[in-house]
Chains A and B, each alone.
Chain A
Amino acid sequence: MRTSKKIASKQNISIIIPVHEMNDTVKPLYERSLESAIATDCNILVVSATNKINDELLTIKNAFNKNITYAIKNDEKTDFCSMVNFGVEHLDSSSDYFMILEMDDVINPQVFKQNIYSYMNAKKDYSVFIPLTYLFNSKGDKFEGFINELPLTPSFSKEIGCIDKDSLSDVFVFNLTGAVFSKEVWNRLGGLKSSIKVYFWYELMLRYTSHNVNFFVYPKVAYHHYLQRENSLFDTYVKTVSEKENKFWLDVAKNNYTNNDDAFVYNNKD
């Protein structure tokens, strides 16, 4: 099923930044991230894990002197997926599209602004727009390679840039932070499943493409992703995941995308 889409404009894309920790290491990274988001002229929604962090975030907000909206998540579910879902639930009603910005990643605002609206208007059959992404080491001083580049090869799928169900059978790793999602599609097909580790984006992609909602990778580097900081929550987790467990989560993703009940956790709550 495909619904009619509003034409994208600068006003209706919001940027969600989930923040689950704040300390001296994270703070400058978050400030860099926030600064890049502000430069896109989009609305910004910061999802704060606890009230304590929120106080720190308000200080930063005041320093930037910009209109940033906050959503405070006080329950125990502070994993990435839950924070993202919570953020989407709390978006302004005027936001037809949104992007997830990891708190230590960076948007390239010029590239984003110059391209996203062109691609959204030119590729009206798509509801999710993924940027070609630079991957840097955690210090940010070494370029490690590209992410999301494979769909830009003609042999990947039916159209250059397209990620459809067939093309997901062999490629599992995409970075969807930095991607612009249609809120209507997210609300219809569900958000991220926090029950699935490691491959939660992959599960979402399988679920969406099985409903003929395809993803489009646009060939512009609008997003810089930084490898996880040493001792960060994700880093600690990834280090403990064995190859066997990794495969387990991949199988879980592959076997659970047809069921989307647990992708509506916040909708159900409301």
Chain B
Amino acid sequence: MTDKEQKIVENIDKEIERIDNSQSNVYFFVLDTKGVPDGSVEYIYKLAKILSDNGKNVTMLYQENLIDKKDDKGVIVKDENGNNLKEDPFVGVEKWLGKEYSELPHVNTISTNINVKSSDILFIPELFASVMKETRKFPCERIVIAQNYNFIAESMPLGDQWGDYGIIKAIVPTQTNADLIKDLFPYVSTTVIDPYLDDLSSKTEELPECLVNVVSKNEEDMHRVIKPFYWKYPMFKWITFRELRNLPQNEFIDSLKKAAFTLWIDDDDNFALTPLQAMNAGAIVIGKVPDILPEWLVEKKENGSLNVKKCGYWFSNLKEAPIALANVIKDWITDNIPSEIGKAQYDAWNSYNDKGRTTKEIYDYVNKIFDDHKKTLLEIKNQIVNKNENK
């Protein structure tokens, strides 16, 4: 056995030992939402937390350029040599997801070098095409977390595709996402890891107020609905809309529970977490049917066509929103909400009220990656050993 071969075998043994001793790292790249709640980031943190709770070495990675440190008056702080002191502007998720998530280990890859080993796993959100490219020479398994179909095209440079960056695996929250990715990149193997919802329904004690919570990705969309609603239905001028964007998670959930209605407009959210949370909190959802339908929202008819389930009051374009709102408010104040909506709402959120399922899915997935990697390493080792034995 040559020295080089000997070195390779030693390294393989080390990596196998790391895997066997659960010392391999699982890295998750995340976007700093600057304290603003984000369903996609929540999904990633929940997966990371599950793995951390189950004995994996999880580290959250982010990229933030250090900035000049300023004092309370906005003056740049200098050290004893007159150099500007720097600080990391990363805000994280403590404000909205809580300490249990923010206390997962975090590393800024711009200011800190990480030594990635072949037995590690690196999860990269679909939005981070640049990270996929930068890490293409990394020895570890790299897996894309693809929650948003639109972001894939938006983030990739023209002419490039995932295969060019060595990406051949992805985890997705819905089968719809999986099918869409297969359609784009047939060589990518996709695995559905179901998101889970914390059950809030038992905590709902107060009778809901006749208020409309608004969760809209774009402020303009919100105005396109609310203003025409008041113009067309002046008798409802007493109805109050409350925007929930940027609220910490606990306040967000409390608000969902206190109001009778949640207006949801977000074409980019392929899983549609907010309407499920609202349904779970007991609110009636008035929502724009998203461009990409998550499977919980659709049912297949006998003729094969897809129908939007009656788990809320759905409209297909913003012009229809005011009448949808007026109808649901009228139905609610007169107790005429069809009972089938309540049942469909329960079925929708309850299908994701299963943390155990998510835990098993992500845990098994990661373990399989480790096992497969270990097999590959053993095969390489055996090839080297056998070659030398045959000599």
Contacts and interface: CB of A to CB of B under 8 A. Distances in A.
Interface of A: 108, 110-111, 114-115, 118-119, 122, 132, 143, 145-146, 149-150, 152-154, 160-161, 219-221
The winner among A145, A146, A160, A219 for most chain B CB atoms within 10 A is A219
B207 A154 contact: no
Question: 8 nearest interchain CB pairs?
Answer: A219-B210, A149-B238, A160-B209, A111-B335, A221-B333, A145-B235, A221-B334, A122-B207
Interface of B: 206-207, 209-211, 235, 238, 240, 260, 333-335
Given A146-B235, A146-B238, A152 B210 contact: yes
A118 B207 contact: yes
B206 A219 contact: no
B240 to A, nearest CB: 6
Contacts of B235: 143, 145-146
21 contacts: A110-B335, A111-B334, A118-B207, A119-B207, A132-B333, A143-B235, A145-B235, A146-B235, A146-B238, A149-B238, A150-B238, A152-B209, A152-B238, A153-B240, A154-B240, A160-B209, A219-B210, A219-B333, A220-B333, A221-B333, A221-B334
Nearest to A156: B238
Nearest to B333: A221
Contacts of A145: 235
Contacts of B209: 152, 160-161, 219
A122 B206 contact: yes
B300 to A, nearest CB: 35
Nearest to A119: B207
Given A111-B334, A114-B335, A219-B260, 20 more contacts: A110-B335, A111-B335, A115-B335, A118-B207, A122-B206, A122-B207, A132-B333, A146-B235, A146-B238, A149-B238, A152-B209, A152-B210, A153-B238, A153-B240, A154-B211, A154-B240, A160-B209, A161-B209, A220-B333, A220-B334
Nearest to A151: B238
Contacts of B333: 132, 219-221
A114 B207 CA distance: 13
A149 B235 CA distance: 10
A153 B239 CA distance: 7
The winner among B210, B240, B333 for most chain A CB atoms within 10 A is B333
A132 B235 CA distance: 13
Contacts of A150: 238
Contacts, number: 38
A15 to B, nearest CB: 19
A233 to B, nearest CB: 29
A132 B335 CA distance: 12
A114 B339 CA distance: 14
Contacts of B238: 146, 149-150, 152-153
A137 to B, nearest CB: 14
Contacts of B207: 118-119, 122
B335 A160 contact: no
A110 B333 CA distance: 12
Given A149-B238, A152-B238, A108 B211 contact: no
Contacts of A143: 235
A226 B133 CA distance: 71
Nearest to B259: A160
Contacts of A219: 209-210, 260, 333
Contacts of B240: 153-154
A122 B205 CA distance: 9
A110 B335 CA distance: 8
A132 B334 CA distance: 10
A161 B258 CA distance: 13
A154 B238 CA distance: 9
Nearest to A145: B235
Nearest to B334: A221
Nearest to A108: B334
Contacts of A111: 334-335
Contacts of B334: 108, 111, 220-221
A108 B235 CA distance: 20
Nearest to A155: B240
A82 B327 CA distance: 41
B188 to A, nearest CB: 49
A114 B335 CA distance: 8
A159 B238 CA distance: 15
Nearest to A114: B335
Contacts of A154: 211, 240
A160 B211 contact: yes
A114 B333 CA distance: 11
A108 B330 CA distance: 14
A135 B244 CA distance: 33
Contacts of A110: 335
Nearest to B209: A160
A114 B260 CA distance: 16
A219 B206 CA distance: 14
Contacts of A122: 206-207
B153 to A, nearest CB: 42
The winner among B211, B238, B240 for most chain A CB atoms within 10 A is B238
A221 B335 CA distance: 8
A205 to B, nearest CB: 19
Contacts of B211: 154, 160
A39 to B, nearest CB: 14
A153 B334 CA distance: 18
A93 to B, nearest CB: 30
Nearest to A159: B209
A181 B378 CA distance: 82
Nearest to A160: B209
A54 B279 CA distance: 53
B256 to A, nearest CB: 16
Contacts of A114: 335
Nearest to A218: B207
B382 to A, nearest CB: 71
B387 to A, nearest CB: 77
A2 B192 CA distance: 58
